[in-house]
Structure 1
Amino acid sequence: MNQKLKNSILFRVALAMAAIVSLSFAGMFSSVFIAQTSEGFAAAINQAGTLRMQSYRIASSLVHHLATDTPYSEAATRRLVEEFEQRLLSERIHHVVSEDGNPVVFLAYRVVEDQWSNIMRPALNNYMRSTDIDPLLLDLQPVDDARQFYLSNVDGFVDNIHLLVKALEIEAENKIQQLRILQIFILILTLIVIAIIMRFMQMSVLSPLKKLMSAASAVRKGDFSVRAAVKRDDELGRLGTAFNTMSENLSEMYAELEHRVKQKTADLERTNRSLELLYMTAKRLSESPISQDVMTEVIQDIEEQIGILSGTVCLGKPGDPVAYRMASTGQNTTWNVNEGDALNCERCFGKGEAHTFKVRLGTPREHSVYSIPIVDQDRQYGVLLVELNSNDKLDDWKKRLLETVASHIALALNMTEKASQSRMLALSEERSVIARELHDSLAQSLSYLKIQVSRLEKSILSEADMRQSLDISDGIRDALNDAYRQLRELLTTFRLRINEAGLAAALEETVREFDDRSDVDIELVSRIGNCQFGANAEIHLIHIIREALANILQHAQASKARVLLQCDAEGKATLLIEDNGIGLLEKQAQQHHYGLTIMQERAGGLGGKLEVSHPDAAGTTLKLTFEI
């Protein structure tokens, strides 16, 4: 038999059920068989019991025939004998009495049958033959002898019949006892089979199922290390093996998921640290000018987020003999690179690429230094050096992060350099403007004064009319006053700054200043909204407005003035300055043409167009239009 089939629970349960069914059928079939075999015993016992009564009836008929001597009694005796023989030889008795049956019953029957056939029936036959003779010729002696013989043997014959009945009863009881024993035996076998099945179910089914349920409960709670201790070569054993395999796979899968979650968490933490470092770097480099303190804070941020020993920022480029150490958090200011005795810039800068080299920081133990070039737009400003332990290695993400930080530093240095260049260019332009304004204002006034002084000297030397000398002196005084005024205006203009409040506040402050200095009612209309003017544009606008208002207060003799600045949605700005004065006379235009010239130059710096007009033959309108 196949070992796998032999160990199968279903097969063994099927065998147990088959055994129970077989025992049940055996009990039923044996009961039916014994019942069928015992079916004729009751009739045979009854029939045998009637033989006893029939024997006594024959004896009674013989006695009655002796007393009455009637034909009726003779016929009754004959009929009783025939009935006895029919009953003795009836099928009811022969059905249960056979040579193959119980020998005691068969022997008892044979004794009765032989005694009847050989003793009792011959005596009765003799008696009945004698009674058939004519009574006149009848010899009574044989009849009496036959009668006496039967009567003397009837008790023994009845005893033998009684033994037969007793044997039949015992045989019937034996059949019933056999049925009872068989039923008890089958019941005991059934109980044994049931006990075996219960034990088998307990050991082979319930116990493994309990272990499987316990393991399943542990797995449901998240404990994938538990294993079902079901080591059997049957269905539950294979189920336990499959469960253990599933639990192991789940454990590996959950371990893999936990590993991936931890990895993703580490990646997120690393990304957060990277973003935080980049944000802090950008914030520090943008909020404050680049300095040693700012760079030191940036390096400290790198130490905190990446976990390096120290860092250094050196400014220079490959090939420079000495680099400028801008900031460093290391305790040693001199690094001995390999066998070198001093700071070897060539080793630090390398070939303009990120690389690692070894240093000894005042001790025999070597440290690793990772050098990252500070490069922006193919221009190297220096290197970022990070110190590591000798056995430490930077991960790729740390290298990329350091390269990004280095690019931020390079961008900040580039922006600082460009801002410095822009400031120098603006300073140069402003100096040119100051030079032009000095040339167009004070220089002309001084030239005029020089000419007037020469005239005064000639007048004094030639002893001309005193009146002429006084006129020349008055002209000199007026020129000096005008020069002082121009100087004050220039100083005020040069000191002008646009504060954080913006252009609108600067316009209000300028108009308020001129309004307080004169009786002219100056109105300011500002419609700039959210237009964004550049710093140079704001300075140029304030200078033009101040120059125009100064001319109005000095020469226009106006009582009202209006300053309007507006811009549209397309970014086109318009500056309109109006007054109700006497207008710009030809003489004034010639004497003060330098003011218009300065405003024209500033308008050109804005890329705009400046127009001066007299709309009502009274007053002056100055209009400036430009693109923001």
Structure 2
Amino acid sequence: MLFVKRSVTSSIARMLIAIVILSILSTGLALVTLAASRTDAEAINISGSLRMQSYRLAYDLTTNSPYLNSHIRQYDMSLNAPALKEIDSFYFPHDIQLKYQTLLDRWKILEYELNQGNGDMYISQLAEYVNQINEFVLAIQIFSELKLKTAGTISIASFLLTIGLVFFVIHFSRRKIVAPLNQMVAASHYIQTGHFDHQPLDTTQPNELGVLANAFTSMSSDLAKLYQSLAEKVEEKTVKLTQANRSLGVLYDCLQALSVSQVDRQCFEQVLHIVCNSENLVIIRLEVQDSGEGRWVLEEGKEDNSRDWHHLVLQQDEQILGKLSWQCADEDAVHPQLIGNVGNILSRGIYFNRAQKRYLQVLLMEERATIARELHDSLAQSLSFLRIQLTLLKRVVPSNNDRAMVVIADFDQALSSAYRQLRELLATFRLTIQEADLHEALNQLITPLQAQTEVPIHIHCALSSQALNAQQQVHALQIVREATLNAIKHAKAKNIYVNCESTKDGYNLITIIDDGMGIKSLDEPEGHYGLNIMSERACRLGGTLAISRQEEGGTCVRLIFPQQ
């Protein structure tokens, strides 16, 4: 804590008090001088009248005037007037008091001579007495003038001293107050413009301004540090805001890439491309896993074996959907929160892709179920009616009519074939698959088939669900169902294997293999259309269907088609 040794206010107050005291003293002395001179004029007037009265007494003596006694009393009253009695005061000079006392004593002698009738004695001494009066009047006049000169000198000296003190106060104020304040004002303007390298202030003054300059300098130093800290924080916040703005742009582009009616492989590839370019990544890889062994892998960039991998698990509603992996060209340039947000976007995209696929698959199943109901309510009813009519016709036509019986037999065979084909179509159309996940859909498909046989059906699914769209999955599952059902009915196998995987050149491969007696012929038996329907479905998938008999026994149904 700083202490004030010599306060500016105290110094100015002392100077002002000195001016006030000087003014009081000068005014007091002037007033005392004037007060002492208030009767000088009267004293001079009365003293001057004594000469006239002295001559009047001489005239009264020569003319035997009857007013002599009254004039003597009047002279005595004038000589003892109060104005002349003040001459005995302490502030009158001693010579004046002595002259006055001499006049009093001489008057007593002259008054005695007058009262004794010695007029000649009075007249003989009158000239000398009048000279004494003149000297007395002159002394009073000189003393009065001296007092006036003294009052004037005191006033002039007081005025000059007052002016000197005023100039000293002004000089002191300019040097000790105004100059330091101007320096502080200039320093404050420097600080206001953000410059803290102002001229050094005088902190050595032992007064309030020295304390203020010291505090101002300390405050300026603290403000410089604070300003520097704030500048660094603003720069840091600017960098963060720039990063946040860039991150928002990347997230917006990623959301735009996934905001389409059909989320497919190209959408995810576009997201990976955006993130890889924005974050300057060496490589970014998206791995989507199914409930089985299926993996869907997308990559952007080229792997660098000398760099470390970073991983982020993708999950939605506590369900693990896959993994996002990347390699950084610059570890500090990658924003972890951005990657996390991109991971959330990809998780939602994968979840939406599966939900969208499930929705389209349900629509297909509902459409096929509707067709099955229509076939059952129309064509199946018609075929049943025809079979009943055919039975009635057999009863009506005589059995010995060979020609009619041949026609009826042919008609019965065609009707039975149509009815069997219709049942196969109905069974196909009534297939219900609710799962979008390929592995789960296979399990849902194989479970009712496994209930129809004791032959174990083995499923190995290494094909990702994202490699097939809803329509492809429905057709592929129908082919799997038909092939598996044929193996159950005709192969007499001990094991049936269903394998789903992807080839090295990016195609989807599904094989249904049994270890039974093998297919006898690739020609469709009369009245059966399963193989033809399977081939037609393979054509719709844009792929090929190959059915072959294995050398070690059994049949292999091989379906290969491109990914979506």
TM-score interval, normalised by the smaller of the two chains? 0.5 to 0.7
Partners of 1:51 and 1:16 lie apart in 2 by 53
Partners of 1:213 and 1:42 lie apart in 2 by 62
After TM superposition, give the deviation of residue 309 of structure 1 in Å: 3.9
- Cross-structure match for 1:43: 42
Once the two structures are superposed, the pairs formed by residues 225-304 of structure 1 within 5 Å of their partners are: 233-235=206-208, 270=243, 273-274=246-247, 277-278=250-251, 280-281=253-254, 284=257, 287=260, 291=265, 294-304=267-277
Once the two structures are superposed, the pairs formed by residues 485-496 of structure 1 within 5 Å of their partners are: none
Helix, strand or coil: the match of 1:6? coil
Q: Given the superposition, is the C-alpha separation of residues 269 and 6 from structure 1 closer, same or farther in structure 2, using an over 3 Å criterion?
A: closer
Once the two structures are superposed, the pairs formed by residues 467-506 of structure 1 within 5 Å of their partners are: 468-469=402-403, 471-473=405-407, 475-476=409-410, 480=414
CA contact (8 A) 1:372 1:406 kept: no
Structure 1 residue identity aligned to 2:96: V
Helix, strand or coil: the match of 1:4? coil
CA contact (8 A) 1:52 1:161 kept: yes
Structure 2 residue 150 is the aligned partner of structure 1 residue 171: no
CA offset digits 1:563-599 (Å, max 9, x no partner): xxxxxxxxxxxxxxxxxxxxxxxxxxxxxxxxxxxxx
After TM superposition, give the deviation of residue 173 of structure 1 in Å: 1.8
- Cross-structure match for 1:12: 11
Partners of 1:416 and 1:313 lie apart in 2 by 18
- Cross-structure match for 1:59: 58
Partners of 1:92 and 1:424 lie apart in 2 by 141
Structure 2 residue 66 is the aligned partner of structure 1 residue 93: no
CA contact (8 A) 1:230 1:237 kept: yes
- Cross-structure match for 1:192: 164
Once the two structures are superposed, the pairs formed by residues 144-223 of structure 1 within 5 Å of their partners are: 147=120, 150-201=122-173
CA contact (8 A) 1:295 1:327 kept: no
Partners of 1:407 and 1:100 lie apart in 2 by 112
State the TM-score, normalized to the length of structure 1: 0.48
After TM superposition, give the deviation of residue 201 of structure 1 in Å: 5.0
CA contact (8 A) 2:19 2:162 kept: yes
Unaligned runs of 5+ in 2: 290-294, 391-398, 431-469, 475-564
Helix, strand or coil: the match of 1:183? helix
Helix, strand or coil: the match of 2:280? coil
- Cross-structure match for 1:329: 301
CA contact (8 A) 1:308 1:386 kept: no
Once the two structures are superposed, the pairs formed by residues 369-448 of structure 1 within 5 Å of their partners are: 369-374=308-313, 376=315, 384-389=325-330, 392-393=331-332, 398-403=335-340, 405-406=342-343, 409=346
- Cross-structure match for 1:308: 280
Unaligned runs of 5+ in 1: 66-71, 132-142, 318-322, 338-358, 360-367, 453-463, 497-534, 540-628
After TM superposition, give the deviation of residue 311 of structure 1 in Å: 1.9
After TM superposition, give the deviation of residue 196 of structure 1 in Å: 3.8
Partners of 1:116 and 1:5 lie apart in 2 by 71
CA contact (8 A) 1:286 1:412 kept: no
Once the two structures are superposed, the pairs formed by residues 610-625 of structure 1 within 5 Å of their partners are: none
Larger Rg: 1
CA offset digits 1:279-334 (Å, max 9, x no partner): 6446646756654x5554323321344x32432327599xxxxx99742324xx6x
State the TM-score, normalized to the length of structure 2: 0.52
Once the two structures are superposed, the pairs formed by residues 483-562 of structure 1 within 5 Å of their partners are: none
Q: Given the superposition, is the C-alpha separation of residues 311 and 108 from structure 1 closer, same or farther in structure 2, using an over 3 Å criterion?
A: same
Q: Given the superposition, is the C-alpha separation of residues 51 and 275 from structure 1 closer, same or farther in structure 2, using an over 3 Å criterion?
A: closer
Q: Given the superposition, is the C-alpha separation of residues 32 and 99 from structure 1 closer, same or farther in structure 2, using an over 3 Å criterion?
A: closer
Partners of 2:217 and 2:3 lie apart in 1 by 23
- Cross-structure match for 1:606: none
Partners of 1:177 and 1:399 lie apart in 2 by 100
After TM superposition, give the deviation of residue 54 of structure 1 in Å: 2.2
CA offset digits 1:408-436 (Å, max 9, x no partner): 55676688789999999999xx99x99xx
After TM superposition, give the deviation of residue 43 of structure 1 in Å: 3.0
Q: Given the superposition, is the C-alpha separation of residues 88 and 420 from structure 1 closer, same or farther in structure 2, using an over 3 Å criterion?
A: closer
When the two chains are superposed, the root-mean-square deviation of aligned CA atoms in Å is 5.8
CA contact (8 A) 1:97 1:106 kept: yes
